[in-house]
Amino acid sequence: MKARVMVRVAAGSILKNKLRSVLTMLGVIIGVGSVILMISVGAGARSRIQEQVARLGTNMIVITPGSSRQGGVSQGAGSFNRLTLDDADKLRREGSLFSAVSPVVVAPSQAVGGTGNWRTVINGVDVDFQAIRDWTVESGRFFDEADVRASRKVAVLGQTVASALYSGQDPLGQEIRLRDVPFEIVGVLARKGQTANGSDQDDVVLAPYTTVHVRLAGRSFIPQILASAGRSADIPAAQADARSILRESHRLAEGEADDFTVRDQTDLADTATATTEVMTLLLAAIASISLLVGGIGIMNIMLVSVAERTREIGIRLAVGARGSDVLRQFLVESTVMSLFGGVLGTGAGFGAAKILSHLTGWSTVVSPGAVLLALGFSAGVGIFFGLYPARRAASMHPIEALRYE
């Protein structure tokens, strides 16, 4: 029997009992829809994390303090700080692969100005910070080299701080007090949004690092140095260059562990997406249970169908049909039923993903790979669970099948 004829016969058999067929396919529909929904939510989360990491900057390399050890036990990253402004200067002078380098001097402070006060973080940075973070200015200007060299008291506000202190006002040219030190507002940054861990990037005030280091921080060591490689392909070599320069700066002997940590955006993205990928796989595995339930339902209905059509099977075998023809016929029926349920489930999953995105604001991405995987799995379920009923039908003896009542 030709494949086209088999599919037509299978479709006719399914349509004879529409309600029973729909109820049988319900498990497959729910399973496929759930799998696609879970995968789309996970893919959307990964896409959002990648966007957020991309917003951090261009080819960015992050250098932070290392860890100390007490009694042979590591105290964790950042517990031993030997980073200084001299390290940043050395990286800038000797690093051949860096397009930009900026120290980051952090000074949490109460900002007073405009309509009140706001608890925020003051970041003392160099001019290169704007290029490293790819952060444009919405209004006004970013401070320049002359401001840094002269340690001028000028500040650039993030959107959150500007909205909190100067809502409905133009902050440019106004005075903001940081730890009772007056700064002139020269610019307002464009909005960056949240990071992958939920912190607000716009809740910040940027000022020349020379000013913040002397007037606000008052510490010899700095918590972070940011750098940017000229090309993304240069990032691994630039990281190795940074390690070499800092080890020389800190006079670390060969074999002695680094007292700093060098990471890039790939490291940050991998860390942020690891948990998301595990949760996506777990949820998709749980959703796949519905597919197994749907497969069992298909097997039960196919067994009922074989029993109902025993005489029909006997007639076909008696007029010359081979057992393999009967086997293929019933396998095609179970596969068509499962595959059709998979198509309906795909539509349901796609619609559910769009509705969830609209109602919650979550990002969902329905990838063609997920659709093909779900459809292939549903077809596999039909073949696997339809095999036993099909083999049972194919093994019937024609005489016994014709005598069946």
Structure confidence by residue, pLDDT tens digits, 164-173:
999 888 999 9
Q: Check the CA dihedral 79-84-85-91 and report its sign.
A: negative
Distances (CA, A) of 102 to 88, 120, 184, 222, 223: 7, 21, 22, 11, 12
181-218: pLDDT as tens digits: 999 999 999 998 876 566 788 999 999 999 999 988 87
Farthest CA pair distance, the chain: 105
Question: What is the 8-class DSSP label of residue 174?
Answer: -
114-118, 142-146, 393-397: range with lowest mean pLDDT = 393-397
State the chain's mean pLDDT as an integer.
81
Domain limits, the chain: 3-52+271-403, 83-258
Tokens of 201: 């990037």
- What 3-state class would DSSP assign to 175? strand
Q: What pTM, to 2 d.p., does this model score?
A: 0.60
Share of the chain above pLDDT 70, in %: 83
Task: Give the per-residue pLDDT at 74.
Answer: 43
> pLDDT, tens digit, for every residue of 104-123?
999 988 999 888 899 999 99
DSSP notation for 11-31: HHHHHHTHHHHHHHHHHHHHH
CA-CA distance, 61 to 231, in Å (whole number)?
12
Helices (H), 108-173: 129-132, 145-149, 159-166
pLDDT in tens, 368-389: 877 787 778 778 887 888 887 8
Confidence of residue 6 (pLDDT cuts 50, 70, 90): low
User: Is the confidence at residue 57, as pLDDT, over 90?
Assistant: no
Distance CA 171, CA 118 (A): 14
Query: What local confidence, expressed as pLDDT, does residue 385 receive?
Result: 81
* pLDDT tens digits, one per residue of 83-94: 999 999 999 999
Point out the least confidently predicted range of 12-26, 219-233, 253-267.
12-26
For residue 403, the SS3 value is: helix
Whether 299 and 337 have beta carbons less than 8 Å apart is answered as no
Measure CA 76 to chain center.
26
Tokens of 77: 């990253």
* Pick from 348, 331, 333, 372: nearest CA to 290: 348
pLDDT of 17 over the 80 cut: no
Predicted local distance difference test score (pLDDT) of residue 403: 63
HSE at residue 380, side-chain half, CA atoms within 13 A, is: 10
What number of CA atoms fall less than 13 Å from residue 376's CA on the CB side?
6
DSSP H or E segment with residue 285 = helix 265-308
The region of weakest confidence among 75-89, 126-140, 242-256 is 75-89
Instruction: Give 169's contacts (C-beta < 8 A, 6+ positions apart).
Output: 114, 115
User: Residue written as tokens 């109602």?
Assistant: 359
Residue 267 and residue 64 in contact, taking contact as beta carbons nearer than 8 Å: no
